[in-house]
Amino acid sequence: MARDVHSPNLRRRSFLKGVSLAGAAALSAGTARAQPEAPRRAETPPQPNPAAETAPPSRDPATQTSSGGDFMVEVLQSLDIEYVAINPASSFRGLQEAIINYGQNRRPELITCTHEEIAASMAQGYAKIEGKPMGVLAHGTVGLQHAAMALYNAFCDKVPIYVMIGNILAAEKRAPLVEWAHSAQDPAAIVRDFLKWDDQPQSLQHFAESAVRAYKLAMTPPMGPVLLSLDAELQENPIADRESLRIPKLPRTSLPQGDAAAVAEAARLLVAAESPVLIADRLARSQAGMDRLVELAELLQCAVIDQGGRANFPWRHPLNHSGRARSVLAQADLVLGLELNDYWGALHAYSDRIERHAAPLTRAEAKTVSLGTHDLFTKANYQEFERFLDVDLAITGDGEETLPTLVEAVKRQVDAGRRAAYEARGKKLAAAQAAMIEQLRRDAAIGWEASPITLGRLCAELWEQLRQEDWSLVGNGIGVFWPQRLWAAEKCYRYAGNSGGFGVGYNAPGALGAALANRKHGRLSVAIQGDGDLMFAPGTLWTAAHHRIPILYVMHNNRAYHQEYMYVQNMAGRHMRGIANAHIGTTLRDPNIDFATVAKGFGVYSEGPISDPREVGPALQRAIAVVKRGEPALLDTIVEPR
Amino acid sequence: MRIVSRLAAAVLVAALLGLVTPAGSQDQAAAGDVGNGRRLYLADGCFSCHGRVGQGGQYYGPTPALAHSELPFDAFEQQLREPANNMPAYVDSVLSEQEVADIYAYLRTLPGRSDIKDLPAILTH
């Protein structure tokens, strides 16, 4: 796709205010050639133009001493934007040049990506580890179109991303051909359904205020992507009066908490319940969120189901019953949903049959309470808000921020008699969880020596290498359940969650963004990486190598879009046609993709294909040694489909 | 297509819960062709949800391990013909009764769960 083709004889900009004396002097001395602006990238060499070359010099300055982009960099620095991921594009050349020269490519530092989807997904993964947004800079048209799916994922995942795009507002300022094709009246329109807010500033002061507003809105729960459309003239032209510009401070923001009376009511219901169950999805933004949920669960000695949008609850905690959710829900008389996007789905079994039908997983008399910010920001078009559940008490407020109040309210109501009953309840739950883990270990051992490698074996080998490290599972594309069941995760950064919108192509770049955030903390980042997902954005590997981002990709290479294969099987079964053709359009064979060679081509250490399970452990040790040196590595392990 | 009887459904549920022993299983296993069962298990896509060695897997949620299945043959066939969950249906024209018996025989030959004391050391951490 050609993005930077410019006709060499076309003027793009009008006379600029604030040009440098040096530039003006050079012009007055008649040393300038007739070309007012050199072509940035021409497909063919310019043809001789004697008339233009012999014409007298115009008063058309070629240099300037400041740019709007410089001021924009100062604003981004005030927001402490650490990185900006880009695929280079002419519509933001002004800001790009200001970042690398005026800002010396430090806070923000540019991260070079080979696709805008990679840039946006990296920002999503980064934010979930670092707890703040990363910048993305893209063409306002074609670049934003590339980034769209990743922004949708982030929107569904309630993750802040700070997107900036280039645009050329004034028609007479656009060069013919490409710059018209790359300009839009309202470039954010194509993604506005899944943005939290956007603006197109008309001045530098307007930019400063909108930039701070955007950051504040992105970081106020429910969090989400924001976008600023930056006019090229605003980025590139001199600053008329720097003294008149002011960068607003970023306010300290008090996050929304649940109403005190409603929280007290929830506490009363929890304390009185015989079998309360807590379900959490995108609850823990920080360690405090996980710690408070542990405190609440231990106070009540009740079961917790962690849906895995974040690492909400320690995976091996005796009260973690995520692996036996249906059992605990069947017993529940009270369910508290914490930052759930799909509460209805959590409480119902749904059948993918000709006549679709649902069955509740809880008893009819079970009470339901929700706590979250979901109701504070919902849009209409995309249906990611899921089916409506008529809960008994809906508390609108940030889950993590409200938990301390809820914990205190529960503490006040628990007396000695209840405490004894809770301990008995906790012991039963702990025993059931221990039995489940024992069963899972026995399941994981089935086919221990089989080739292709079973996922149970792969995850056991991986855990053996990680358990003594400060690790972070930054990607688990299809949600392989073994890590959450058999590994011990007691820190919120141990897991960076999922894509949010189930848009395939997130895992590889999302994991890399999380690894980028983990780098300065010295954590060992690992991603279980699907083959189909990596093929959407394999250039992610080049970014990992180029920026020396330490991450270990362990391939879940089943040579298929296997979930889709199973869906086609389902259809073929329903239509009684046999499943012999289900591989058509769903598999990645003939030829098999050699991911180790692909990775090497991008400059990433790699081994594989590895199909003998006995080779996995030693290969992991070698690859982890590479990652500990600060480099990326990939192991192409050939594994069972599921 | 057969009608799901309450009795068959009850047997299936009980078998899944491990409450019944596979009465007649050995007879059916003997009647089935293990080699053909393995071929069909892989060719007809059973492996895609349950794993090539019957270790189980994931579809909408976890799918059960079938290695050394304890499911009685009748309940096994019933589940194939009219699945009790989201599993695809396999009608007679796709899998004959003999082929079902072959697959069943193959699954009975697969090593099932080990005793906890026999687990690989790295699974005990």
Q: What is the pLDDT of residues A455-472, one digit of tens each?
A: 999 999 999 999 999 999
Q: Which of the four CATH numbers 3.50.50.60, 2.40.420.20, 3.90.870.40, 3.40.50.970 does domain A446-557+593-637 have?
A: 3.40.50.970
Q: Which domains does chain B have, with CATH numbers?
A: 6-111 (1.10.760.10)
What's the confidence (pLDDT) of residue A56?
Answer: 65
Q: Are A85 and A147 in contact (CB under 8 A)?
A: no
3-state secondary structure of A199: strand
- Looking at the DSSP bridge assignments, the partners of residue B58 are B62
Calculate how close chain B gets to A455, using CA atoms only, in Å: 9
Calculate how close chain B gets to A253, using CA atoms only, in Å: 40
Asked if the model's pLDDT at residue B24 lies above 90, the reply is no
Q: What share of chain A is helix, strand, coil (3-state, %, to 5)?
A: 45, 15, 40
Strand pairing category for A135-139 and A109-112? unpaired
Record: fold of A68-244: Rossmann fold (3.40.50)
Whether residues B94 and A578 touch (CB distance < 8 A) is answered with yes
Which chain A residues are closer than 8 Å to B66 by Cβ?
none
Asked if the model's pLDDT at residue A281 lies above 50, the reply is yes
List, by residue range, all CATH 3.40.50.970 domains of chain A: 68-244, 446-557+593-637
Amino acid code (one letter) for A640 = E
Whether residues A460 and B123 touch (CB distance < 8 A) is answered with yes
List, by residue range, all CATH 3.40.50.1220 domains of chain A: 260-437
Helices (H) and strands (E) in chain B, counts: 6, 2
pLDDT tens track for B51-83: 999 999 999 889 999 999 889 999 999 999 999
CATH class of A260-437: alpha beta
CA dist A545 → A84, A111, B23 (Å): 17, 11, 59
Residues A288-316 have a mean pLDDT of 98
The Cα A135–Cα A124 span in angstroms is: 10
What H or E segment, with its residue span, contains residue A279? strand A276-280
Closest by Cβ to A443, choosing from B56, B59, B85: B56
CA dist A279 → A43, A297, A310, A418, B42 (Å): 58, 11, 12, 22, 38
Closest by Cβ to A446, choosing from B85, B91, B112: B112
Minimal CA–CA distance to A168: which of A246, A74, A87, A237?
Answer: A237
Residues A312-316 have a mean pLDDT of 97
Put simply, whether B17 touches A (Cβ < 8 Å) is no
What's the confidence (pLDDT) of residue A37?
Answer: 42
The Cα B32–Cα A413 span in angstroms is: 63
Asked if the model's pLDDT at residue A307 lies above 70, the reply is yes
Q: The tokens of A528 are what?
A: 């279980």
What's the confidence (pLDDT) of residue B27?
Answer: 63
Band (A194; pLDDT cuts 50, 70, 90)? very high
Number of other CB atoms surrounding residue A16 within 10 Å: 17
CA dist A450 → A40, A102, A456, B22, B51 (Å): 57, 57, 11, 26, 10
pLDDT tens track for A97-124: 999 999 999 999 999 999 999 999 999 9
The Cα A607–Cα A433 span in angstroms is: 37
Residues A429-435 have a mean pLDDT of 98
The Cα A486–Cα A456 span in angstroms is: 9
Whether residues B116 and A438 touch (CB distance < 8 A) is answered with yes
Which chain A residues are closer than 8 Å to B52 by Cβ?
447, 450, 452, 640
Residue A542 CB contacts under 8 Å (≥ 6 apart), including other chains:
A114, A602, A603
Residue A495 is given by DSSP the state B
Asked if the model's pLDDT at residue A210 lies above 80, the reply is yes
Which chain A residues are closer than 8 Å to B80 by Cβ?
none
Share of chain A above pLDDT 90, in %: 89
Which chain A residues are closer than 8 Å to B63 by Cβ?
642
What's the confidence (pLDDT) of residue B29?
Answer: 59
Minimal CA–CA distance to B92: which of A571, A570, A573, A568?
Answer: A573
- The residue among B82, B122, B124 with the most chain A CBs within 10 A of its CB, best to mutate, is B122
Which chain A residues are closer than 8 Å to B54 by Cβ?
446-447
Minimal CA–CA distance to B29: which of B76, B73, B94, B81?
Answer: B73
Closest by Cβ to A447, choosing from B48, B53, B86: B53
Share of chain B above pLDDT 70, in %: 76
What's the confidence (pLDDT) of residue A9?
Answer: 37
Calculate how close chain B gets to A531, using CA atoms only, in Å: 16
Asked if the model's pLDDT at residue A32 lies above 80, the reply is no
Mean pLDDT of chain A: 92
